Structure 1
Amino acid sequence: MGARRYEERFIAWLTDEGAAYHSVAEFLDGFCRFLNREGFAIRRCNLATRTVHPQMVAIRHVWTDHPVEVIPVNPMVVVRRRQYRIGDAMIDEIYFNAMNEENPQYLASPFYRLLSCGELYEPIHPVGEPQPFPVFDDLAKEGCSGYFGLYLKSFAGVRQQIGLVTMLPQGLCEKQIENLRWSLDLFTLHLNTLMEYSIKNTLARTYIGEDPGRRVCDGMIGMGEVVSLEAAIWFSDLRGFTAISDGMDAEQLIDILNAYFEVVVQAIYERGGDVLKYIGDAILAIFPVSSFNGAEGACEAALLAAEDSAARLAVLNESRIEHGQSALEHGVSLHLGNAQYGNIGSRQRLDFTLIGREVNIASRIEGLTKQVGETMLCSAPFVAASKRPMRSIGDFRLKGVAAPMEVFAPR
């Protein structure tokens, strides 16, 4: 097959089938299948991309033409890992933290070598013979014969590397390597688009919340564009923060806030909630009724999150007390209602948030927690929907609410 014909076939694939893929894994799978139709006999393809995320620095997708036993990776450098099928092929998806940059397994890999040389082709020797990289021992057992690696070009300046392993008896010839090099330059164009889309979604969900991030990325960006949302509304506030922070430097102050937010927010997300906003040392979160097949499920999830956060805060306080630091306490209010959910602000600066009477009620009830000596208080609508037994604390007038409201605490 001549080079021109290969180029034409690749461009036809890239602009038709390739351009239709919406995820990196699907795009990589399609690319490897194209190469195998062209006779490259790719057994394994490893694509590593840097990303922008508060917990991880890189994502690695390992494609194999059939399900295989995955190669062990140091668990200390892994944030998340999963395997899944795409047809008869398998994807091993790994999210790495910053520690991977110093991981001995990475430092002894072809990808580390690519940082300095940009491109390499190495034969994979038969089993039992010395190999240039430790990973080649496993590849030799699968009958692989050659490895081509390339540092990809990225218009966004994000590090991207790819490694392709062939099973051709004589490895890859010069013409095949030339074709790979040429096609990967074009492959990178759509890969960059997919990575930019992924990073955009990650940043939106990290900074404004999971559901708001999804809605904004899907186009809900007009000023005044709001929807009515029924949800269990969570409002919590760190007690005595002004006194705690008195005399502290900025770094200590941030450490306390981050420690508090970490234990509470993790509990909210693990129970299916979504944090919308940090307001100083306070947290506004929602448990949408639509996500739990009804109000009772949403309220139960919020209660479980409150219980989880209390347990985690107790563990955090044990450590703080051991180190001579004061314990952290917070108040939590839970309310159920319909609020306006969407974009407010000005043309220059919008905020995606929850507003309305029900949010005010949740905030005012939280303000009662210290007054009545309770860690958690719930509104009457919340209690009625949750079906959990509660004890009445009494009726209270809330600022901005005309009629007194009865509030409840767990038994």
Structure 2
Amino acid sequence: MTNNQSSSGVVTPLPGTNNAQAARGFVRSVNDWLMECALDDTDISELLSGMASRLVASGIPIDRVMVAFKTLHPLYEGVSYIWTKENGQVVRTTHMGDDEKDRDWAESPMKWMLDSDVSFMRRHLIGPSAVVDFPILETFRRQRGTDYYALMTPFVTDSDSTLNSNRIFMTYLTRRPSGFSDEDLAILSGIQRRFAVSCKMRINHEETRTILETYLGTDAGQRVRNGQIKLGDSTKTRAVIWFSDMRNSTSVATHVGDDAFLGEMNDFFGATAGAVLKHGGQVLRYIGDATLAIFPIDEDETNLETACYAALYAAAEAQLNIDALNARREEVGKLPFDYGLGMHVGEVIYGNVGVSERVDFTVVGQAANEAARIEQLTKQLGRRVLVSSTVARFISCPTEEMGAYELQGTGVSLKLFAPDFSEACHRIELMRSA
């Protein structure tokens, strides 16, 4: 039985595309739509869903389509999008990219195509010409798949980078008894490059956003993408300001050595700055082993309580994280981490500083300086966390008044309070165990 025949030996025609001229016209119309999507920077999920819908409407017998590619992201290496005819939905999945851990990738047709530098592959899954030489193909056959077609399109993301090469993988599966016809395959191949161009536009967009948000933070990255890149571009922002610092960094560095200290710092930031991000704060920058972050209040002053509440739970989460981390460090003979945290409320200038050719997007202003000076007093007063009176008023947990202190170099005297995070820590532990 040939690939375009049913069990009765009759060729299965495609409605509306049962001749070469109609097929060429259909390919042109889909390619025109794909170029519009590229210009509109259409999301890949929407792009895949729209293309699949057009293929199905034209009579192409697709039951599953997958798009996959590498991406530049600190948490994962690859992304796949899978559309299925059964539910008409697109599911996005991220992949770590470790061949030893990701067995599905290591044993996939795509990995073989990449290693063999093969741009397309076709496998009949039933009948005398069936070749089921990858585990995923056996899975597809059990799911009543009859024919599998895979395409690989290479492209350049950044010619100036050592990571300039990438590839779009497309795989198609059908359950039609006769499989894909030659006309089907010609149509799928005919739209592949334009689809890859549309994907490339979106991949570049996503990677740019990832890089900016990774190095600048979510809000700062968004502002830079929106054009706030000139020296002096700024916005005044009212926020709860967080300034935390590792207390015993010199001792830790001496104990583990310079080569290992970077990993130690990352563990510390994971416990402290990670708590900020988890509770909706924005990490603006790392200053040595210190973290400057904010919980924005926005224009509505009623959001002050919400921002303080988020900062409270971030501080409680950081305390739990550090205590758990120290317990593990003690087991392997490492020095415990300690830290100080100062929190304050005020208006800061959120924008670009530096020189025209090299700017830094950060927060500056009197309130940020005061938060840093509050943190400096934590060691003197023997408390991990100190907050100003405004924060103490809204964090909804018991506080101990520590007295009024002049903040070094600011000419400002503030009443400081030491929060009791016991209740917040208890609630977080309950949520973790739920």
TM-score (norm 1): 0.89
**Residue 297 (structure 1) aligned with residue 306 (structure 2):** yes
1:33 maps to which of 47, 53, 59? 53
Counterpart residue number, 1:85: none
Counterpart amino acid of residue 163 in structure 1: T
Give the C-alpha shift of residue 248 in structure 1.
Answer: 4.7
Distance in 1, Cα, partners of 2:43 & 2:156: 18
Counterpart residue number, 2:210: 202
1:349 maps to which of 339, 346, 358? 358
Counterpart amino acid of residue 373 in structure 2: R
Q: How does 1:215-234 map to 2 (within 5 A)?
A: 215-234=223-242
Answer whether contact 2:404 2:416 (CA < 8 A) is retained. yes
Give the C-alpha shift of residue 136 in structure 1.
Answer: 3.1
Counterpart residue number, 1:122: 123
Secondary structure, aligned partner of 1:151: strand
Residues 66 and 225 of structure 1: CA distance in aligned 2, closer, same or farther (over 3 Å): farther
Answer whether contact 1:317 1:328 (CA < 8 A) is retained. yes
Answer whether contact 2:119 2:152 (CA < 8 A) is retained. yes
Distance in 2, Cα, partners of 1:120 & 1:43: 18
Counterpart amino acid of residue 56 in structure 1: Y
Distance in 2, Cα, partners of 1:137 & 1:92: 21
Secondary structure, aligned partner of 1:52: coil
Distance in 2, Cα, partners of 1:113 & 1:246: 47
2:247 maps to which of 239, 246, 252? 239
Amino-acid identity (%): 29
Distance in 1, Cα, partners of 2:281 & 2:58: 48
Counterpart residue number, 1:325: 334
Q: Which moved more, 1:28-37 or 1:310-319?
A: 28-37
Counterpart residue number, 1:111: 110
Answer whether contact 2:120 2:150 (CA < 8 A) is retained. yes
**Residue 281 (structure 1) aligned with residue 295 (structure 2):** no
Answer whether contact 2:66 2:80 (CA < 8 A) is retained. yes
Counterpart amino acid of residue 96 in structure 2: N
Answer whether contact 2:386 2:418 (CA < 8 A) is retained. yes
Q: Which moved more, 1:183-192 or 1:218-227?
A: 218-227
- CA-based RMSD of the aligned residues comes to 2.1
Answer whether contact 2:348 2:366 (CA < 8 A) is retained. yes
Q: How does 1:8-47 map to 2 (within 5 A)?
A: 8-16=28-36, 19-20=39-40, 22-47=42-67
Give the C-alpha shift of residue 166 in structure 1.
Answer: 2.2
Counterpart residue number, 2:161: none
2:75 maps to which of 47, 50, 55? 55
Counterpart residue number, 1:256: 264
For structure 2, the residue ranges without an aligned partner over 5 or more in a row are 1-16, 158-164, 421-434
**Residue 314 (structure 1) aligned with residue 323 (structure 2):** yes
Q: Which moved more, 1:257-266 or 1:166-175?
A: 166-175
Q: Which moved more, 1:148-157 or 1:13-22?
A: 13-22
Give the C-alpha shift of residue 103 in structure 1.
Answer: 2.6
Rg larger in structure: 2
Answer whether contact 1:118 1:150 (CA < 8 A) is retained. yes
Deviations 1:137-161 (A, max 9, x none): 4433544321110111212212321
Secondary structure, aligned partner of 1:171: coil
Answer whether contact 2:340 2:379 (CA < 8 A) is retained. yes
Counterpart residue number, 1:75: none
Counterpart residue number, 2:221: 213
2:277 maps to which of 269, 274, 279? 269
Counterpart residue number, 1:78: none
For structure 1, the residue ranges without an aligned partner over 5 or more in a row are 68-88
Distance in 2, Cα, partners of 1:110 & 1:119: 10
Residues 177 and 286 of structure 1: CA distance in aligned 2, closer, same or farther (over 3 Å): same
Answer whether contact 2:231 2:353 (CA < 8 A) is retained. yes
Distance in 2, Cα, partners of 1:228 & 1:142: 58
Deviations 1:278-325 (A, max 9, x none): 000000011112399611111111111111111111111111111111
Secondary structure, aligned partner of 1:112: helix
Counterpart residue number, 1:150: 151
Counterpart residue number, 1:70: none
Corresponding pairs, count? 388
Deviations 1:354-410 (A, max 9, x none): 110000010000000001100000011212233433111011111232231111001
Residues 182 and 130 of structure 1: CA distance in aligned 2, closer, same or farther (over 3 Å): closer
Counterpart residue number, 1:7: 27
Counterpart amino acid of residue 346 in structure 1: V
Secondary structure, aligned partner of 2:244: strand
Distance in 2, Cα, partners of 1:97 & 1:17: 28
Deviations 1:157-187 (A, max 9, x none): 1232111112333111223222222210111
Distance in 1, Cα, partners of 2:390 & 2:336: 32
TM-score (norm 2): 0.84
Distance in 1, Cα, partners of 2:149 & 2:110: 11
Distance in 1, Cα, partners of 2:319 & 2:226: 35
Distance in 1, Cα, partners of 2:26 & 2:122: 21
Distance in 2, Cα, partners of 1:409 & 1:6: 70
Distance in 1, Cα, partners of 2:96 & 2:25: 42
Q: Which moved more, 1:112-121 or 1:57-66?
A: 112-121
2:84 maps to which of 46, 52, 64? 64
Secondary structure, aligned partner of 2:83: strand
Counterpart residue number, 2:135: 134
1:403 maps to which of 405, 412, 416? 412
Distance in 2, Cα, partners of 1:344 & 1:107: 46
